[in-house]
Amino acid sequence: MLRPSLRRALLRTAARRVPWATRYSTVSKTSDPLRVLFCGSDEFSCASLQALYDEQKQNSELIRSIDVLVRPAKPTGRGNRIMKDVPLRALAEQLRLPIHVRDTFKGWDMPKPAGDPINLIIAVSFGLFVPQRLLRESKYGGINVHPSLLPE
């Protein structure tokens, strides 16, 4: 991910070289704005959510909404007395994004932000498999991002 200042400089340079690009762009005209369900848990998923949120703020025609799905707090420590939330929940609260807490997908239907259905599911270090029925409901399906190589 580029630093914001470098990104702005590159975009300004590109816009000067190709002035028609902004006037004749078809990205927002040909595709639906993304309504993302972001599923995650750890610091790796926090970095991904922050990048997605930053992109939404810079390009609101591309990403209309981001809903965050996290797993519930788990007991930790000696005697399992301390309940610990996943780091992604704190970030989602800080960014004021809608948060959904689920430990299973049974009987759960995807949210409909502003009345429109979710059209992309992004799972980053989530820990649960997103069921096929939810992937089929979303127009663009899903993306799974994991910080390590997964077994074949």
**Tell me: the pLDDT tens digits for 128-148?**
999 999 999 999 999 999 888
Q: What is the mean pLDDT of residues 102-127?
A: 89
Confidence at residue 76, expressed as pLDDT on a 0 to 100 scale: 83
Burial classification of residue 20, based on how many CB atoms lie within 10 Å of its CB (0-12 exposed, 13-18 middle, 19 or more buried): exposed
Residue that the structure tokens 């970095």 belong to:
47
Rounded to a whole number of angstroms, the distance between the first and last alpha carbons of the chain is: 28
Bridge partners (DSSP) of residue 73 are: none
pTM of the entire predicted model:
0.75
Tell me the domains of the chain and their CATH numbers: 31-145 (3.40.50.170)
Tell me the average pLDDT of the chain: 83
> Could you tell me the pLDDT band of residue 6, with boundaries at 50, 70 and 90?
low
Confidence at residue 123, expressed as pLDDT on a 0 to 100 scale: 96
